[in-house]
Chain A
């Protein structure tokens, strides 16, 4: 009897597997779910002139040129900044545009970019190991990280803020989070700040911001904290349900992460950022991506890491 039952279960299992396999063929075209194209104004995106015969004295770049591809680490779950549509596998957002600009100046067309999704906690390791050539994903420049890798930039200035549900009345800023549940990712800086007695929040640590947002929508937490630019993106993605409140309570200058000690590449990247900030590509890219989330345009910060 046992064997009989077992046969049936196994047959059912095989059927599900077969379904999964056949399912791969065919199906609707296009992207599933809410249309991520709302996040970027494709027409307004600038195109970047790809430099030819780039000669920079950098081991990382030389390797990439030999490979014919540059590997760039990006975020995949931050709408308007670094977002990957799961049905088309295409990346979009402001960080992605920055990456395309820089890659163009290093001699790579958008098609020659190999994107790699890198979660926040894995960024330093991925860069220092050389799994990615450049890391461009809401990457705050700070001293601890500078011990392990180098930065070029900053190209954008963000600050930690709070995301709450639309009908939230009590949480209006970092001063009013006492004993409220605030979510962020494991080991992130804004979380360490808001945990301190001065603010006194109860923290919830998960591994992705999008999971925090999901918990916020479910009512499991009262607020999500991280950089305002990221939060604006989520607020816009879930328009009518979430809002960003309070003044930024920290400085988060975003830079491009690269392998420690590669001064030539760092300079090339910094120059590239400067060039596009000056020639207007930066603003155009911003307006077509992050600007659509409601983040106001700010003049890019002065480049200190070069």
Chain B
């Protein structure tokens, strides 16, 4: 019996589940990550403190623990009745945002100091300096670590499978309950992940090429 052909619908559902979760969490992570990185370099101390706390707490907590918070603490205490996909996106997105924020901050660090000084000298404000001079240049050096962060995110979504989300990893349980050979199931699931991670890799290579400038 062929596991893949017999259960094409299930595999499709799992693959799309993983893909969808990855894409939405990645978007959330980028938005949050940029915001937090901005906080961390801003002239306003409370924002800096918030940014530091955010990064340190989220980076040093296992993702599974964040999932426990999302599924058993948030509904209980803060927002009852939130959809489990939203909760999973929040857990993955928040977690990844701390890595994105750090990558962006390191990227800012790679922009030569003279650039910011020059921007200041012609009278740009903090927001202008960041938006027009620093961030566009930082983007180039942020792309490679960002690519690995998103690949990591893809793999991390596997944790969501244990928390009411259909993804590539948890269809494995349904299939092995049906008595299929576990090794074969794993090969197909792994292939599914490889497709997504290689797609991300390729996409970022293209981005990198597009942004390349001779310096």
**Do A and B touch each other in the complex, judged by CB within 8 A?**
yes
Give A residues with C-beta under 8 Å from B: 5, 9, 121, 124, 144, 147-148, 186-187, 189, 204-207, 211, 214-215, 218-220
CA distance A144 to B176 in the complex (A): 9
A211-B174 contact, Cβ under 8 Å, with A147-B179, A218-B80, A220-B81: no
**Does residue B117 face the partner (Cβ distance < 8 Å to A)?**
no
Please measure, in the bound complex, the distance between the C-alpha atom of A245 and the C-alpha atom of B122, giving whole angstroms.
Answer: 74
With A214-B72, A215-B75 known as contacts, the answer to whether A186 contacts B162 (CB < 8 A) is yes
Query: Chain A contact residues: over half helix, strand or loop, or mixed?
Result: helix
Residues of A within 8 A of B72 (CB): 211, 214-215, 218
A207-B162, A218-B80 in contact; A9/B75 too (CB < 8 A)?
no
**Could you say which of A9, A124, A211, A218 has the most chain B C-beta atoms within 10 Å of its C-beta?**
A218
Contact call B174/A9, Cβ cutoff below 8 A: no
| CB of B6 closer than 8 Å to a CB of A | no
How far in angstroms is the closest Cβ of chain A from B169? 10
**A147 contacts across to B, CB distance below 8 A:** 179
**Contacting pair A219 B178 (CB below 8 A):** no
Min distance, Cβ A167 to any Cβ of chain B, angstroms: 16
B170: Cβ under 8 A from any A Cβ: yes
Contacts of B52 in A (CB 8 A): 5
Beyond A206-B162, A220-B75, A220-B81, whether A148 also contacts B179 by CB under 8 A is yes
The interface residues of chain A lying within 8 Å CB-to-CB of B163 are 206-207
B153-195 Cβ-contact flags toward A at 8 Å (1 or 0): 0000000011110000010011011110000000000000000
Q: Does B76 contact A (CB under 8 A)?
A: yes
Range for the number of chain B residues in contact with chain A: 20 to 34
Residue with the greatest number of chain B CB neighbours at <10 A, chosen from A148, A189, A205: A205
Nearest-CB distance from A201 to chain B (Å)? Answer: 13
Bound complex: CA of A73 vs CA of B52, how far in Å? 45
Q: Which residues of B contact A148 (CB under 8 A)?
A: 179
Interface contact A186-B81, CB-CB below 8 Å: no
Binding site for A on B (CB under 8 A): 52, 56, 71-72, 75-76, 80-81, 84, 161-164, 170, 173-174, 176-179
- 30 CB contacts below 8 A, A to B, read A5-B52, A9-B56, A121-B173, A124-B176, A144-B178, A144-B179, A147-B179, A186-B162, A186-B170, A186-B173, A186-B174, A187-B170, A187-B174, A189-B177, A204-B164, A206-B71, A206-B162, A206-B163, A207-B162, A211-B71, A211-B72, A214-B72, A215-B72, A215-B75, A218-B75, A218-B76, A218-B80, A219-B80, A219-B81, A220-B80
Chain B residues in 8 Å Cβ range of A211: 71-72
A190 CB → nearest B CB, Å: 12
> Least Cβ distance of A98 to chain B in Å?
24
Contacts of A204 in B (CB 8 A): 84, 164
CA distance A148 to B178 in the complex (A): 11
Nearest CB in chain A to that of B60: its residue: A13
Contact across chains for A205 and B164 when beta carbons are under 8 A apart: yes
Residues of B within 8 A of A219 (CB): 75, 80-81
Q: In the assembled complex, which residues on chain B have CB atoms less than 8 Å from the CB atom of A5?
A: 52
Q: Give the chain A neighbours of B71 by CB distance below 8 A.
A: 206, 211, 215
**How long is the Cα–Cα vector from A130 to B178 in the complex, in angstroms?**
21
Task: Report the minimum CB–CB distance from A147 to chain B (whole Å).
Answer: 5
In the complex, besides A9-B56, A206-B164, A218-B72, 4 extra interface pairs with C-beta distance below 8 angstroms are A144-B177, A144-B178, A204-B84, A219-B80
B177 and A187 contacting across the interface, CB-CB below 8 Å = yes
Question: Within 8 Å CB of B164, what residues of A?
Answer: 204-206
Query: In the assembly, what is the distance between CA of A206 and CA of B160, in Å?
Result: 10
Is there an interface contact between A205 and B179, defined as CB atoms closer than 8 Å? no
A211 to B163, CA, bound (A): 10
Residues of B within 8 A of A205 (CB): 164, 170
Docked Cα-Cα span, A53 to B127, in Å, equals 83
The CA-CA distance from A148 to B164 in the complex, in Å, is: 26
Q: For residue A218, which residues in chain B have a CB less than 8 angstroms away from its CB?
A: 72, 75-76, 80
Assembled-state Cα–Cα distance A189/B162 (Å): 16
Kindly list chain B residues whose C-beta atoms are within 8 Å of the C-beta of A186. Answer: 161-162, 170, 173-174
Bound complex: CA A189 to CA B177 (Å): 9
With beta carbons under 8 angstroms apart, the residue of B75, B76, B173 that contacts A187 is B173
Instruction: Provide the bound-state CA to CA distance between A172 and B138, in Å.
Output: 60
The minimal Cβ–Cβ distance linking B104 to chain A, given in whole angstroms, is 18
